[in-house]
Amino acid sequence: MPTTAALIVAAGRGTRAGGGVPKQWRPLGKGRVIDQTLAAFYGVPEVGQVIIVVHPDDMERAASLAGPATRIVAGADSRSGSVRAGLETLSSTAPDLVLIHDAARPMVSAAVIGRVIAALSQHAGAAPAVAVTDALWRGADMVEGTQDRSGLWRAQTPQGFRFADILSAHRAHPGGAADDVEVARAAGLGVAIVQGDEDNLKITTAADFQRAERLLGGGMDVRCGNGFDVHRFAPGDHVWLCGVKVPHDQALDGHSDADVGMHAVTDAIYGALGSGDIGQHFPPSDPQWKGAASHIFLAHACAMARDMGFEITHADCTLICEYPKIGPHAIGMKREMAKIMGLDSDRISVKATTSERLGFTGRGEGIAAIATATLVKR
C-alpha cells in the first residue's frame, strides 16, 4: 500500500471572518478551525504523517498541535510558497502520495479524502470539486450577459498528487498559482476530478462560521419540553382557553384564571429549559397570583427562554374536553398565543380532541391540556 502524507496549509492571515485572529485559529465546535481540520485527517488510516504549515508569527500558537507523525513548518508570503516549504520538509521522509489541504476547510469528510486517495492509483493528481449548477451572469451592477456553466466546477481541497511529481512541479513553478492543480497542470500532470461535497466549505466570512457550526451540531442546542395541566369545572359562565374567553355554562376552577391550555404551554417551555413548572415560579400559596391572567406566566417563561439564549420555534397545544367546542375559537387562540409569545401564528398549533366520553373529561368534569414546545439556541 502506498504511503500517504497530509500537508495542511495554515499560514494565511485571513481575518475577513472577524474574531481578531486568522480564521484557522478561531473557535469552532469544541476546538478551533484547525483542530477540526486536523481531526478529519487523523481519522483516515491511510494518512501516516501530517505536515502543518503555519505563519512564522503563529509558531508558538501551533506548538499545541504537535503530535505523533506531525511536524510544524514555517510558511512563506504566498500560498504556493508555503506549500513548497511543506513539500521540501516532507522530502526527507518522502511519501508516495501527498494530500494538500487548506486549514480553512474544516468540514472535509473522510469520504472525500478517500475518493482523492483512490483516484491517485490511476492518475498523477486528483482533486474534489462540485459541479456549478446555478445560472452564471457576466456584468458589474447590471447583467451584461450569461455564461454557459457546462463543464464548470467549484474546486475544493484536499488536492492529491504523487509526491515526487508535485514536488518537482512546485520547484519548477514561478509562483503565484491559485492552487496546486494549477501548478500540476503547468508541469503537464493530469488531474482527475472526483466528487466533492457541498459541506466541504471554505471558511471566509462570519456566515461561513455559522454554517460550519450548524454542520458540526456545535453552537446549536435543540430542546423539546412537554406540559400537562388539568382544571375541574366550577360554577360560572365562561372559560379562558389559550388566552380567549369562551362562553360556557361553567367556569374552570383554579388559583389563577385556570387557562389550562396556556398553563400546559408554559410548563412545556419551563420543561425544555429544565426550570421546573408554573407552581415553582408562581406558587399558588402566594395570594398575589389569585385570579391572575395566565399570560403573565407564559410571558415569563418566554422571557426566561430568551434570556437563556433560546428561540422558541414552535408550540403545540391539544385541549382535551367534550365541551365547549374549540374549533370556532382555534384561530383566535393561535393568534393570542402568538402575540404573547412573540411568534408568527403559523408557529403555534391549537387543536382539540375528546376522550370518547371516557374518564373525567369524558364525564364533563373538567378540561385537560397537553403541550409541546421546541426551543433552539443557535
pLDDT in tens, 247-256: 999 999 998 9
DSSP state, 203? Answer: P
Between the two ends of the chain, the Cα-to-Cα distance in Å is 44
Q: What is the mean pLDDT of residues 93-101?
A: 97
Strands (E), the chain: 4-10, 27-28, 31-32, 47-54, 70-74, 97-102, 125-131, 136-139, 143-147, 153-155, 159-162, 191-195, 221-235, 238-241, 244-247, 250-252, 311-320, 348-353, 366-377
Gap between the Cα atoms of 80 and 86, Å rounded: 10
Three cell numbers, residue 57: 508569527
Closest of 370, 315, 319 to residue 348, by C-alpha: 315
Measured CA to CA, the distance from residue 266 to residue 371 in angstroms comes to 9
- For residues 100 and 21, the model is more confident at 100
> CATH second-level architecture of 4-216?
Alpha-Beta Complex (3.90)
The mean pLDDT value for 63-90 works out to 90
Q: Given a cut of 60, is residue 258 above it in pLDDT?
A: yes
Cα torsion 45, 46, 50, 51 to 10°: value is -160
Phi, psi of 78 (to 5 degrees): -125, 160
What confidence score (pLDDT) does residue 210 get? 84
- Chain-wide mean pLDDT for the chain? 93
Query: Cell 391540556 appears where?
Result: 369
- Cell numbers 373529561 label which residue? 361
- With a pLDDT cut of 90, the percent of the chain lying above it is 84
For residue 17, the model assigns a pLDDT of 58
Q: What is the pLDDT of residue 13?
A: 81
Topology alike, domains 4-216 and 221-377: no
- In angstroms, the CA 160 to CA 43 distance is 17
pLDDT for the residue numbered 218: 57
Confidence of residue 33 (pLDDT cuts 50, 70, 90): very high
Domain boundaries, the chain: 4-216, 221-377
AA identity, residue 311 = E
For the segment 229-235, the average pLDDT, to the nearest whole number, is 97
Number of CB atoms found within 10 A of residue 248's CB: 18
Helix/strand/coil (H, E, C) string of 185-207?
A: HHCCCCEEEEECCCCCCCCCCHH
pLDDT of 189-219, one tens digit each? 999 999 999 999 999 988 898 888 888 875 5
| Residue pair 268/370 in contact by the 8 Å Cβ criterion | no
Give the confidence band of 242 by pLDDT, cuts at 50, 70, 90.
very high
> Residue 219's pLDDT is what?
56
**Mean pLDDT calculated for residue range 148-176:** 96
pTM above 0.95, yes or no: no
Model confidence at 272: pLDDT above 90: yes
Q: When comparing pLDDT for 367 and 285, which is higher? A: 367
Which CATH code is given to the segment(s) 221-377? 3.30.1330.50
Round to whole Å and give the CA distance between 51 and 53.
Answer: 6
